[in-house]
Amino acid sequence: STEELGDRIRAAKATLGDRVVILGHFYQREEVVQHADFVGDSFQLAQATKSRPDAAAIIFCGVHFMAETADLLSTPEQAVILPNLAAGCSMADMADIDSVTDCWEQLEDLYGTEPGADGRVPVIPVTYMNSSAALKAFCGEHGGIVCTSSNAVAVLEWAFARGRRVLFFPDQHLGRNTAKAMGVPLEQMPMWNPRNALGGNTAEELEAAQVVLWHGFCSVHKRFTVDQITAARESHPGVRVIVHPECPMSVVDAADSSGSTDFIKKAIEAAPAGSTFAIGTEINLVQRLAAAHPEHTIFCLDPVVCPCSTMYRIHSGYLAWVLEALVGTADRAPEVLNRIQVPHEVAGNARIALERMLAAKP
Ligand code: 13P
Ligand code: SF4
């Protein structure tokens, strides 16, 4: 049962002490989050990784790209463990290194590679944290950077100081919503359409482009609609609608505000008692916030429960399993299971792109 697993997790954690740190993303199940030493958005968890160089093992309760990032930001001696290796992210899978390299080469053909009179290079690649380490390495190698939903504006400013254009992947919505908020007109952010049998972007489109968007999206956040916001405003006059910037542009525009998972949490914490919120993000976070704030009315914009199915793949059984393996038994030596290790060939450049992000944060 969940209670028994909770007892086993607590016992193993007590035995391991400071040798282990458990990081949990806001979207994790309650049965997992209650055991985490740090709970946060993806940027905060990247920072938390760096804050515990003393821990021999970092158990990352989140998805694969987050564990890869923790491996890149931890010391070589530390082992990063993903309790269930099947916890991926469908958005991260929507951009692979071969297609992005192909796109990059086509953009180089079009825009050239030499810096302009203003010293800015033709294109800067920017990858959302939700991407493979190989894509972070691509950015590190080509003068680019990583962003998260909490620092996307600062990172795009960093990129525009160095490049005349940005290639943004994998999430079209975060890219579009952020660039729009910075004043980039929609017609200057075309979606990349490879020059292949199906066509390609027009020359005019690419000539005018300031941000070239990849076609990725989050299957959880794309479910939110303007109709749901309209319905929430009708049923709850005075409601504050806050959504994650992975939602489509029309939804972000119709909401009162948008931001990372931590932004949503802080907005709720700062509100006067008796406030009403309709939230457009993953259900585990919405339910936790509702439980933590009985003084407010908090509900999910989508009446049909929408968990992130891959975040959900981490449950307390897996957490107990990897922790108990670290402890070992009389007849079983302590063991690191499910270690995530970014291959050496990509780690160096991926780390460069991540460190640029950590330095670019205002
Ligand atoms: P945050 O950076 O806001 O935690 O978002 C991560 C994520 O995967 C949202 O879907
Ligand atoms: Fe990926 Fe969306 Fe899940 Fe976030 S909510 S981990 S973007 S699938």
Predicted confidence (pLDDT) per residue in 191-210, tens digit: 999 887 778 899 899 999 99
Q: What is the SS3 assignment for 124?
A: strand
Max CA pair span of the chain:
70
Pairwise CA distance, residues 242 & 289, whole Å: 13
Q: Where in the chain is the domain with CATH 3.40.50.10800?
A: 2-88+310-327, 221-300
Pairwise CA distance, residues 108 & 212, whole Å: 13
Consecutive H or E run containing 354: helix 344-360
Contact partners, residue 348, CB within 8 Å, separation at least 6: 137, 140
Mutate to test the pocket of ligand 1, among 130, 151, 252, 262 (most ligand atoms within 8 A of CB): 130
CA of 27 to the centre of ligand 1 (A): 8
Q: Where do we find the tokens 């049998």?
A: 197
Beta bridge partners of 25: 40
Kind of pairing, strands 240-243 and 276-280? parallel
> Which residue puts its alpha carbon closest to atom 7 of ligand 2?
218
* Identity at 127, one-letter amino acid code: T
ipTM: 0.97
Q: Give residue-wise pLDDT tens across range 126-180.
A: 999 999 999 999 999 999 999 999 999 999 999 999 999 999 999 999 999 999 9
CATH architecture of the domain with residue range 221-300? 3-Layer(aba) Sandwich (3.40)
Would the annotation count 225 as a binding residue?
no
As for ligand 1, residues whose beta carbon falls within 6 Å of it are 26, 41-43, 130, 148-150, 218, 244, 246, 260-261
Residue of 101, 113, 71 whose CA lies nearest to 348: 71
Helices 283-292 and 261-270, axial angle in degrees (round to 10):
20
Pairwise CA distance, residues 278 & 232, whole Å: 7
Q: Give residue-wise pLDDT tens across range 323-362.
A: 999 999 989 999 999 999 999 999 999 999 999 999 986 5
pLDDT number for residue 361: 60
173, HSE (Cβ side, Cα atoms, 13 Å): 25
Pairwise CA distance, residues 174 & 189, whole Å: 12
Taking the model in full, what pTM does it have?
0.95
Determine if ligand 2 sits within 6 Å of the CB of residue 89. yes
Task: Name which of 35-39, 61-65, 192-196, 243-247 the model is least confident about.
Answer: 192-196
Q: Which atom of ligand 1 is nearest to the CA of 25?
A: 4
Q: Give residue-wise pLDDT tens across range 254-307.
A: 999 999 999 999 999 999 999 999 999 999 999 999 999 999 999 999 988 778
Cα 287 to Cα 231, 298, 326: the distances in Å are 20, 8, 32
> Which residue puts its alpha carbon closest to atom 8 of ligand 2?
89
CATH topology of domain 2-88+310-327: Rossmann fold (3.40.50)
Pairwise CA distance, residues 191 & 213, whole Å: 5
CA of 27 to the centre of ligand 2 (A): 9
